[in-house]
């Protein structure tokens, strides 16, 4: 019996051996060639961006030089970068792969997604290399990607890694988008550069990196770019709609909250005086459809898509919200409003030498905490009359010479009148709220700095 066993084993091994040697050698693709080919398609479109940022603080003009990266997306010079790279920039200069330097203008920005569209000043008849976008929804964990840009100001740099997570939820960075997490190095200066797949197409825009965690970086996916960029091109901004809803998923592991239902999204609370609160939506309502489209947030990663759906609703057009309250279905009619509509335009006040803006709950939540509507000092010019007074940026204006101020129109009217009577009455008394404390400040406008 033992001899038979040895014989069978010998036959088995012999068969395996013959199978192994019968396999034809397979062609293989050198990964180095894949990387080189992908890099060559996008690298010429990567730009190094330097911006001059101008601001005023304590009456003094401050010039700050900031740098970042970008990627050209059209032959006539349209390029993408981050909002935080070009925010408050008065000058934008770009260095191309071939050594050409060009100025650029900001076409549009969106702080909510940290995206900006700029346009290079390309001479007539000239063109620039550009990169193509890929569908980021086709990415999967483990895919190889390259982060390109100018880390620490060192232009024409590339790092390689894999996609660590395709749907990373970072609520403090963007309420409308998930993020691509990668271990390709994304350092300061990489912001705005492209995240590129092995086909040589852009799957995202590098935006965030953990400084002391070199293997953790984040890029905004191209599926978000395809929504935001056309609006930046057409309007210069994204006019997100707003309902005033704070939403929660059905399951939240971190907070140990689990609802025994399979569809819908939970209302955590509604903002005071918002479209949602005026329509009668309440905390703990479970919304199952918005404007006829079913919504479900099983986990937190599902929330950005619902917020984006709300943000793209037509403003001023009534819609139906279907919800479950106390296990009973009901529907309410709600009218979306523009998210930043209270902000208004910046109002320049010559001779006062300052600019003012309307308080906005989104852009100025710290001021909104003290006063729900009104006007605040946005900028103080240097040198100027406001700079010589005790007024400061972020002061909420309550009264001017005893006249209440509740809107930009109030300031515009008072300002126009003050210019007519400047010789008879060169001083104005401002009543302002500064971090919750009432202060009185005198503004002397007898001096005309613009004529000096």
Residues identified as active-site: 84, 114, 191
What's the rounded Cα separation, in Å, for the pair 250 and 287? Answer: 11
3-state secondary structure the chain: CHHHHHHHHHHHHHHHHHHHHHCCCCCCCCHHHHHHHHHHHHHHHEEEEEEEEEEEECCEEEEEEEEEEEEECCCCCEEEECHHHHCCEEEEEEECCCCCEEEEEEEEEECCCCEEEEEECCCCCCCCCCCCECCHHHCCCCCEEEEEECHHHCCCEEEEEEEEEEEECCCCCCCCCCEEEECCCCCCCCCCCEEEECCCCEEEEEEEECCCCCCCEEEEEHHHHHHHHHHHHHHCCCCCEECCEEEECCEECCCCEECCCCCCEEEEEECCCCHHHHHCCCCCCEEEEECCEECCCCCHHHHHHHHHHHHCCCCCCCEEEEEEECCEEEEEEECCEECCCCCCCCEEECCCCEEEEECCCCCCHHHHCCCCCCEEEEEECCCCHHHHCCCCCCCEEEEECCEECCCHHHHHHHHHHHHHCCCCCCEEEEEEEECCEEEEEEEECCCCHHHC
What's the rounded Cα separation, in Å, for the pair 182 and 165? Answer: 7
CB within 8 Å of 49: residues ≥ 6 apart:
67, 68, 69, 70, 81, 85, 86, 92, 93, 94, 95, 104, 118, 150, 192
What's the rounded Cα separation, in Å, for the pair 70 and 102? Answer: 13
Start-to-end CA distance of the chain, whole Å, equals 114
Q: Are strands 60-72 and 115-120 parallel, antiparallel or unpaired?
A: unpaired
Q: What is the dihedral of CA 217, 223, 229, 235, to 10 degrees?
A: -120
CB distance 156 to 43 below 8 Å: yes
């Amino acid at each position: 019996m033992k001899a038979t066993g040895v014989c069978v084993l010998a036959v088995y091994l012999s068969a395996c051996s013959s199978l192994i040697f019968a396999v034809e050698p397979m062609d293989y693709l050198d990964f180095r060639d894949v990387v080189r080919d992908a890099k060559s398609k996008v690298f010429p479109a990567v730009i190094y961006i330097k911006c001059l940022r101008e601001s005023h603080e304590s009456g003094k003009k401050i010039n700050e030089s900031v740098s970042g990266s970008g990627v050209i997306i059209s032959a006539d010079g349209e390029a993408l970068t981050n909002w935080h790279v070009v925010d408050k920039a008065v000058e934008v200069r770009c260095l191309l792969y071939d050594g050409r330097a060009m100025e650029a203008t900001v076409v549009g920005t969106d702080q909510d997604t940290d995206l900006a569209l700029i346009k290079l000043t390309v001479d007539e008849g000239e063109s620039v290399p550009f990169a193509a976008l890929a569908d980021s929804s086709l990415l999967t964990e483990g895919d190889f990607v390259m982060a390109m840009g100018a880390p620490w100001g060192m232009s024409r740099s590339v790092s390689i890694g894999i996609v660590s997570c395709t749907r990373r939820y970072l609520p403090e960075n963007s309420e409308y988008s998930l993020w691509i997490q990668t271990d390709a190095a994304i350092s300061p200066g990489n912001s705005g550069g492209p995240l590129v797949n092995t086909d040589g197409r852009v799957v995202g825009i590098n935006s965030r990196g953990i400084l002391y965690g070199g293997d953790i970086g984040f890029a905004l996916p191209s599926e978000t770019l395809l929504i935001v960029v056309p609006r930046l091109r057409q309007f210069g901004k994204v006019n997100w709609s707003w309902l005033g809803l704070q939403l929660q998923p059905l399951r939240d592991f971190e907070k140990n909250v689990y609802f025994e239902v399979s569809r819908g999204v939970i209302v955590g609370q509604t903002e005071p005086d918002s479209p949602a609160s005026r329509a009668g939506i309440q905390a703990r309502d479970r919304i199952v459809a918005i404007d006829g489209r079913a919504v479900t947030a099983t986990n937190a990663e599902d929330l950005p898509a619902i917020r984006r759906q709300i943000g793209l609703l037509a403003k001023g057009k009534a819609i139906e919200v279907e919800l479950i309250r106390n296990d009973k279905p009901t529907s309410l009619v709600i009218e979306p409003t523009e998210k930043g509509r209270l902000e208004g335009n910046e109002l320049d006040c010559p001779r006062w030498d300052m600019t003012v803006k309307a308080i906005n709950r989104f852009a100025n939540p710290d001021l909104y905490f003290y006063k729900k509507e009104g006007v605040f000092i946005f900028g103080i010019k240097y040198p100027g009359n406001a700079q010589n007074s005790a007024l400061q940026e972020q002061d909420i204006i309550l009264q001017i010479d005893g006249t209440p101020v509740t809107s930009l129109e109030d300031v515009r009217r008072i300002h126009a009148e003050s210019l007519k009577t400047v010789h008879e009455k060169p001083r104005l008394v401002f009543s302002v709220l500064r971090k919750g404390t009432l202060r009185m400040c005198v503004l002397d406008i007898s001096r005309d700095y613009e004529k000096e």
